[in-house]
């Protein structure tokens, strides 16, 4: 005997199709804010939304049973509420220096994402944190205090953004949690990418989920291709290829992300000083003729959630002062801060910015 089945779908015109007729139905349910419409469709094949099958007489009873409709509506509302709660997970921002924390805070405010900030003293810009921004300043050695503040604030996801001045042991006055962390990983890891991987593991052991800023703001990732009016010429492309070769080897050793190359010669590689200082000092080594190129890549084993290669207005300004022609940056693996302003400034200086896939230059 054929057993009819039905499918419930929201926001559609109510239709009932046994064999040759249609019945429209809409109901107003007390306690549910909107009029709920259902599309009730009969087919010989089974459908999956409620996974419930009724004989024809049972289905007619269902239509006459308002209490069943109320239950369905409440189920839909509960499902929506759970979905909303999932979308509104509270974000904990560990903020270092630079303008990235400001961009993320503005994004959260605009999108109404609940958040709490732990601003690292001596690194985070105080001007970004006024009464409209829920925040607490902590020292870099106060991990235990930070975890407690996040838990009390109901934080679920954590993102680490901004620059951190690499501390010496003399700069660190660790609390018990931080001291235990350093004892666990070993002091030799201090300052390396290894400490970031260990820190992520420690944060997640505390019950938080570590996310990257690109997961919250995907538009901040630098895309593939030339972003500026000016394009790299033949010599610049050759310098990019040389820079990719060196930067990948540099990254394998967990040393730095950036290389400056001019006319095939490596003017400098990034060490502890960072990309901006590298660019500035390479200005003194620049040869006569066409300016060099900055190549900036994510390290092969680098965590995507922390310390991604980043360029911004300061990068362009420093490259201009050092007489360089442009920047080649790891597409999809690097951040571009204030993108429109960066491109406009590069165009003003007649420099190029290009997002590259390193594999294409090997």
CB-facing half-sphere around the CA of 304: CA atoms within 13 A: 11
For 221-361, give the CATH class.
Answer: alpha beta
pLDDT given for residue 12 in this prediction: 40
Q: What is the pLDDT of residue 35?
A: 37
Residue 103 backbone dihedrals phi, psi, to 5 degrees:
-60, -40
Per DSSP, 221 falls in state B
What residues does 166 pair with on adjacent strands?
Answer: none
Q: Convert the pLDDT of each residue in 311-345 to its tens digit.
A: 999 999 999 999 999 999 999 999 999 999 999 99
Distances (CA, A) of 91 to 33, 116, 140, 197, 245: 29, 6, 19, 20, 38
Domain boundary assignment for the chain: 26-87, 91-216, 221-361
Equal fold, 91-216 vs 221-361: no
**In the predicted model, what is the mean pLDDT of residues 136-145?**
86
Please determine, for residue 77, whether its predicted confidence score (pLDDT) is greater than 80: no
Q: Per-residue pLDDT for 187 more than 70?
A: no
CATH topology of domain 91-216: Rossmann fold (3.40.50)
pTM of the complete model beyond 0.85: no
């Amino acid at each position: 005997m054929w057993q009819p089945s039905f499918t419930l779908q929201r926001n559609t015109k109510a239709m009932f199709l046994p064999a040759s007729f249609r019945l429209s139905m809409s109901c107003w349910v007390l306690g549910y804010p909107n009029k709920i419409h259902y599309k009730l469709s009969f087919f010989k094949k089974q459908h999956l939304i409620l996974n419930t099958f009724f004989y024809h007489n049972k289905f007619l009873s269902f239509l006459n049973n308002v209490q069943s409709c109320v239950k369905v509506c409440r189920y839909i509302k509960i499902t929506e509420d759970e979905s909303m709660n999932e979308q509104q997970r509270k974000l904990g921002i560990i903020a270092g220096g630079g303008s990235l924390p400001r961009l993320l805070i503005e994004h959260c405010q605009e999108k109404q994402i609940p958040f709490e900030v732990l601003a690292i003293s001596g690194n985070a810009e105080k001007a970004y944190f006024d009464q409209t921004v829920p925040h607490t300043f902590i020292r870099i050695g106060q991990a235990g205090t930070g975890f407690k503040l996040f838990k009390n604030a109901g934080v679920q996801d954590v993102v680490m953004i901004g620059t951190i001045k690499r501390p010496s042991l003399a700069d660190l006055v660790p609390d018990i949690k931080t001291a235990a962390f350093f004892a666990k990983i070993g002091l030799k890891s201090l300052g390396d990418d290894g400490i970031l991987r260990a820190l992520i593991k420690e944060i997640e052991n505390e019950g938080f989920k570590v996310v990257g800023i690109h997961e919250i703001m995907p538009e901040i990732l630098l895309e593939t291709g030339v972003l500026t009016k000016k394009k790299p010429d033949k010599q610049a492309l050759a310098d990019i290829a040389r820079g990719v070769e060196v930067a990948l080897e540099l990254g394998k050793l967990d040393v730095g992300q950036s290389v400056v190359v001019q006319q095939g010669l490596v003017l400098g590689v990034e060490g502890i000083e960072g990309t901006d200082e590298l660019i500035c000092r390479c200005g003194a080594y620049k040869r006569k003729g066409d300016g060099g190129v900055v190549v900036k890549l994510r390290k092969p084993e680098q965590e995507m959630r922390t310390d991604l290669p980043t360029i911004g207005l300061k990068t362009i300004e420093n490259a201009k002062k050092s007489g360089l022609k442009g920047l080649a940056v790891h597409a999809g693996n690097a951040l571009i801060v204030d993108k429109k302003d960066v491109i406009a400034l590069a165009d003003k200086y007649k420099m190029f910015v290009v997002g590259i896939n390193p594999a294409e230059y090997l």
